[in-house]
Amino acid sequence: MSDLIDLQQTVAESAMEARARRAARSAGYVARKSRWRRNSLDNQGGFIIVDPHTNLPAAGVRYDMSAEEVIDWCTAE
């Protein structure tokens, strides 16, 4: 039973990350998720939003945005 719950949480998390990437793309940005270690000084293990034309970060410079924050940021503009 525990394995099923873990699988459901993983699927829900993956779906939310995909939704965040789509929201960024529709706003004209790219959302990148860190795959590096969590909780280092400059890398919090979350998302960064990048302007694809300049390749400069627009938000979440320290990879400190959650998927929900990415969605909120992209829909607020």
Kindly report, residue by residue over 52-67, the tens digit of the pLDDT. Answer: 999 999 999 988 999 9
pLDDT band with cut points at 50, 70 and 90 for residue 4: confident
- Give which of 29, 14, 34, 11 is closest to 70, Cα–Cα: 29
| Buried-exposed string 4-16: b where 16+ CB fall within 10 A, e elsewhere | eeeeeeeeeeeee
- Give which of 28, 31, 30, 27 is closest to 64, Cα–Cα: 31
- Give which of 44, 41, 38 is closest to 59, Cα–Cα: 44
